[in-house]
Amino acid sequence: MQRWITLTTDFGVQDWFVGTMKGVIASIAPEARIIDITHEISPGDITAAALALAASYNYFPPKTIHVAVVDPGVGGKRDALLIETERHYFIGPDNGIFTLVLRHEKKHRIRRLDNPCYFLPEVSRTFHGRDVFAPVAAHLSRGVKPSAMGTLKADCSQLSWPEAVRRGTRAEGAIIHFDRFGNAITNLPNTWLPGEMQLQIGRRTVPVCNCYSAVQPGRLVAVPGSAGYVEIAVNQGDARRQLHLRRGMKVRLVPQSM
């Protein structure tokens, strides 16, 4: 049975990189069904790739194969990985790109891809997306067993991910990402929003509402975001530019009466 294959990269669409990966997959597994999650990750931004993958993978059918290639260490000593979870497969470099996925998927097996039979005959030191990860995904979609592709590995690299902290009715976190609309995604889980709350960033206080349109156009608002984390936004505007926000800036959730 052919499986879905997703692609998440920082390759953009200007060059031939994504198309070539799809060509490799199609050559090995002509019936494979490929979906692009995104190719617009900023070059080398492993943190953004980890978030994009974690925010999207669980919306795909069981046994989907997720290929993630944001790989500034390509050609170096980092391993190539195949990770099996109860419902999905993940293929990519061992550089922390699967940090958030593995927080959600407690039951998993990690394999080091070390069987070149499932790579292209010639492996470039600069394009493992084409020569290693794409062919492995294609062979896996055709039914090759993960155990044939690599040996088990105890663990893999983890990003130094900022942890949100909750103390009673208050919580502290940080901005971890900006989407293309300029919304600031924090690491504060949506589940920490019961009751009347407000968000503080610097000297500003931002109301917490259920949607952007709960405030007038041009006004600040914090909302439960679709990725599962609280977002800071400007209704019909760009919060990142308006507030001069940066990744890593501290934010606080406090009761509205504070």
Q: Render each residue's pLDDT in the chain as its tens digit; 258 residues.
A: 668 999 999 999 999 999 999 999 999 999 999 999 999 999 999 999 999 999 999 999 999 999 999 999 999 999 999 999 999 999 999 999 999 999 999 899 999 999 999 999 999 999 999 999 999 999 999 999 999 999 999 999 999 988 999 998 899 999 999 999 999 999 999 999 877 889 999 989 999 999 999 999 999 999 999 999 999 999 999 999 999 999 999 999 999 865
What is the reported pLDDT for 219?
A: 96
pLDDT for 217? 96
Q: Residue 170 is encoded by which pair of tokens?
A: 């208050």
What contacts 149, CB < 8 A, 6 or more positions away?
Answer: 82, 111, 113, 115, 118, 136, 139, 140
Fold of 4-153: Rossmann fold (3.40.50)
Residues of the chain with CATH 3.40.50.10790: 4-153
Which pLDDT value is given to residue 136? Answer: 99
What CATH number has the domain spanning 165-255? 2.40.30.90
pTM of the model: 0.92
Residue 153, Cβ neighbours under 10 Å: how many?
17
Give ranges for CATH 2.40.30.90 in the chain: 165-255
DSSP string, 147-183: HHHEEEES------PPPPEEETTEEEEEEEEE-TT--
* Lookup: tokens for 144: 């090759």
pLDDT at res. 156: 96
